[in-house]
Amino acid sequence: MRNPAFIVFEGGEGSGKSTQAKALSNRLRKLGFDVVSTHEPGGTVLGNKLRRWVKWGKEVTLPSELFLFLASRSQLVTKVIRPALARGYIVICDRFAASTIAYQGYGRGTDLSLLESLNDFATDGLVPDLTVLLDLDAEEGLGRKRRKWDTFEREDFTFHKRVRDGYLEMAAADAERWMVVDASLPTIQVEELIWERVREFLTYGKGFVSLATTSP
């Protein structure tokens, strides 16, 4: 089923974005939608290389870090997201431009209006139709991480708290295009809350397709 839409998952460390992005993609595919599922940083050959550098690189300066994320984003938008939307796919992306505002802006302290301009340049003006924010206390999120911690996970709690506050501010400023979900709820409940909103969005938000009578 062709019904182009761009849905992004955002949130702090350990908030369950990847699990929820996957669950939503599977659900939509089962209902017959054409779905492309991708993530940032990464999702392209170059992006996957950049991902390793930003997560595990040593002595990466703040501007370098920022430009690596932007480079990865630009590749992903041009090579994957825009072509998929043009073919009528629903694109589900684990992190996008708001991650830069939250982490490099609120977290690292880089000027927000500069970041907005750079994001606009890197995305060529592409804005998600819906952003799902999985909101979770930073300590709880980091407590869920089991493997070796990357550059961001090693930042202190005050950094992660600023990131969380940044996300909540962005969501509050654009309630129509953002939904905030309490990520401390059981996974299945989070999945249902997201589905309710996505279903409503696909039914009425874009006016393309009626899902009102479609059972999950």
Residue ranges binding ligand TMP (CB under 6 A): 13, 40-41, 55, 69, 95, 99-100, 103-104, 152
> Of 36 and 100, which has the nearer Cβ to ligand TMP?
100
Q: How far apart are CA 149 and CA 38, in angstroms?
A: 22
Beta-strand (E) ranges in the chain? 5-11, 35-39, 90-94, 130-135, 178-182
Q: Please choose, from the candidates 77, 79, 72, 95, the residue with its C-alpha nearest in 3D space to the C-alpha of residue 20.
A: 95
Closest contact distance (angstroms) between CB of 41 and ligand TMP is: 5
Amino acid found at 73: R
Cis peptide bond upstream of 41, omega within 30: yes
Give 181's strand partners.
Answer: 134
> Of 129 and 153, which has the nearer Cβ to ligand TMP?
153
Closest contact distance (angstroms) between CB of 75 and ligand TMP is: 12
Closest contact distance (angstroms) between CB of 137 and ligand TMP is: 16
Closest contact distance (angstroms) between CB of 139 and ligand TMP is: 16
- For the record, the structure tokens of 53 come out as 């550098």
- Residue 5 φ/ψ, nearest 5 degrees: -160, 150
Confirm if 180 and 10 have CB atoms less than 8 A apart.
no
Cα radius of gyration rounded to whole Å, the chain: 17
> Of 100 and 123, which has the nearer Cβ to ligand TMP?
100
> Of 28 and 93, which has the nearer Cβ to ligand TMP?
93
> Of 77 and 211, which has the nearer Cβ to ligand TMP?
77
